Structure 1
Amino acid sequence: MITGSTVALVTPMTAAGDICWQTLEQLIEFHVFNGTEGIVAAGTTGESATLSFEEHAQVIRFTVEKVAGRVPVIAGAGGNSTAEAIKLTKDAKQYGADAVLSVVPYYNKPTQKGLIAHFTAIADAVDIPILLYNVPGRTIVDMTVETVAVLAKHKNIVGIKDATGDVSRVQPTLEACGPDFAQLSGDDATSCEFLLAGGHGTVSVTANVSPKGMVEMVSAARQEDRDRAERFDQLLVPLHQKLFVEPNPIPVKWALNQMGLIPPGIRLPLTELDACFHEEVMQALKDSGVAG
């Protein structure tokens, strides 16, 4: 089971929009050194929507090679076309990913029956652990607990990243899917409560800038130490809030650039963080102890 604090890793880019491979390697080492327990490569935060198929495969292959088995690598491999998602999933397996993160198809608004057919087709086509990814804020469609329960019966579907922010789903999902089905929070603001309610880990944007803080919070929450978990989470709250003042990954890439960890590049149609937000994001970095 994939547990603990997993980072939804950014894809560093130059000002011209080219992938910066040396910086990606440095970010990987930064996370391994700071205790991050898993890395998502080429996910939403990694700007998967604007990576070409070739770049997508290159990011996954590069990340797997540089991680070298020290932590699990989860490859973003979703799409709004089932055939495309299968191809990305096959690529992820070929390049050695430990699992894939497969998002609910976006834009075309499938039914719950369509979701079952989509994910079943992927799981039948590729023998690799699959994490479902429910993020209705981006996909419009919300995958229900009942649909997750049907999909959890497939041997290759091993868990879910739940970015709904609805902590009340944890227990019904546990009852419907069993204790071996991984539940990972995809909403930083509610991740502490998600874990205290019985979740197994997080896939975090905040972990990009505060990997140690997220590891400490997740560890305390998984030990059911509410007081300690909430103390750590309170330090992270400014980041949970301000790293989403514009659509992810705009604020987190700006923050990482200010920390000297990545170049300023981001790909259109995303643009650099608006200047009106610079002061408050910087203040969040200071308040959380990750910037002087």
Structure 2
Amino acid sequence: MTTKKFVPVMLTPFEDGNAIDYTILEDLIEFYLKAGAGGLFANCLSSEMYHLSREEMLASVSFIVQKVNGRVPIVATGTFPDTLDNQAAFVKEMYHTGVDSVIVITSLLAEETESEDVFEARVNQLLALTDDIPLGFYECPVPYKRILRSDFLGELVRTGRINYHKDTSLNINSVRAKIAASKDAEDFALYDAYMGHAVDSMKADAAGLSCIQGNYFPELIVWLCNHYGDDSEEVDKVQQFFAQNMSVMHDTYPASAKYILEKRGLGITQICRNGSELKNTADYDKLDTLYCQFNALAQEIKLNMVSL
């Protein structure tokens, strides 16, 4: 079985007063890498990118690039609500931070009511406006989710410009079709965001996983990337753990992930700019139960956990 990688969708730590906490951001980078991350996805939805200024996006990504110092590849989102010309200009600015690839948000190139023809024409326009910068795609669910057609993704990959795709289709057949359409490309990787079929996705030859669950328990995602091909009860239990806890990990995210990381010893606050928060005792109880279940599973499979 081919080795798979985990690419965390990075959180943004905030201080009291909502400024980015760069001290904790550096600790978070090291936590991801010690856990075995094979890359980092900076400035994404988990980073609360829509609640960062453009100056903060560029500064935080530049900081991440500097601290990683070439240890793993880094991708970062570079398109936001604006004209196509201005999106292209920001892609160039983001690339100059030193990232390996700039990510394009599919739902920002066409309105939800606009056709696939309109969307695909704008993708090609963006490619023409961004020189030879390596690009990737992210089917971000905000402002709405636009899923790439597999045939179109295959066409884009064959241009040599597209080397990354984060899939959020939640459909294993869609994942398989995209992988088949891009199978001859040497420098292209598809990462699945959906843990409900993580094992099947990697068996279908996805490059790995890029999921919010990695902001709770990155070591467990890395373990699954390393063991997905094993015919074992342990793999089944890890897959089941993620499938059964899907809602609790999504309901108050990313505040919930920050709470778990705080429990694990990272000096991160629960502060979020996007309004996410733990509102009552029930929210905390669910996450405490989740943490207990993780610890029991980690002990059962003899998981090497990162100490913080």
Which amino acid letter does the alignment assign opposite residue 286 of structure 2?
A: E
Instruction: Name the SS for the 1:244 alignment partner.
Output: helix
Q: Give the CA deviation at 1:220.
A: 1.9
Q: Give the CA deviation at 1:32.
A: 1.2
Match of 1:12 in 2: 13
- Structure 1 runs of 4+ off > 6 angstroms? none
Q: 1:251 aligns with which of 256, 270, 283?
A: 256
Q: Give the CA deviation at 1:214.
A: 0.6
Which amino acid letter does the alignment assign opposite residue 283 of structure 1?
A: T
Q: Give the CA deviation at 1:156.
A: 0.9
Q: Give the CA deviation at 1:117.
A: 2.6
Match of 1:112 in 2: 116
CA distance in 2, matches of 1:80, 1:115: 14
The answer (yes or no) to whether the contact 2:195–2:242 under 8 Å persists in 1 is: no
Which amino acid letter does the alignment assign opposite residue 141 of structure 1?
A: R
The answer (yes or no) to whether the contact 1:133–1:162 under 8 Å persists in 2 is: yes
Asked if 1:217 is matched to 2:217, the reply is no
Q: Deviations over 1:168-212 (max 9, x none)?
A: 113222222224332210123332221122211111211122111
Q: Deviations over 1:44-65 (max 9, x none)?
A: 1000001000000011100000
Which amino acid letter does the alignment assign opposite residue 216 of structure 2?
A: V
Match of 2:294 in 1: 288
Q: 1:102 aligns with which of 93, 104, 116?
A: 104
Instruction: Name the SS for the 1:139 alignment partner.
Output: coil
Counterparts of residues 78-89 of structure 1 (less than 5 Å) = 78-81=79-82, 82-89=84-91
Q: 2:239 aligns with which of 233, 239, 256?
A: 233
Which 5+ residue runs of structure 1 have no aligned equivalent?
none
TM-score by length of 1: 0.88
CA distance in 1, matches of 2:147, 2:243: 26
- Indicate how the Cα distance of structure 1 residues 55 and 19 shifts in structure 2: closer, same or farther if over 3 A, else same: same
Match of 1:144 in 2: 149
Q: In terms of Rg, which structure is larger?
A: 2
How many residues in Structure 1 have an aligned counterpart in Structure 2?
A: 286
Counterparts of residues 167-246 of structure 1 (less than 5 Å) = 167-180=172-185, 181-221=188-228, 224-227=229-232, 229-237=235-243, 239-246=245-252
Match of 2:301 in 1: none
The answer (yes or no) to whether the contact 1:5–1:37 under 8 Å persists in 2 is: yes
Which amino acid letter does the alignment assign opposite residue 208 of structure 2?
A: G
The answer (yes or no) to whether the contact 2:107–2:140 under 8 Å persists in 1 is: no
Counterparts of residues 118-133 of structure 1 (less than 5 Å) = 118-124=122-128, 125-133=130-138
The answer (yes or no) to whether the contact 1:161–1:203 under 8 Å persists in 2 is: yes
Match of 1:159 in 2: 164
Asked if 1:66 is matched to 2:67, the reply is yes
Match of 1:264 in 2: 270
Q: Give the CA deviation at 1:260.
A: 3.6
TM-score by length of 2: 0.84
Q: Give the CA deviation at 1:249.
A: 2.2
Residue identity (%): 21
178-187 vs 35-44, which deviates more?
178-187
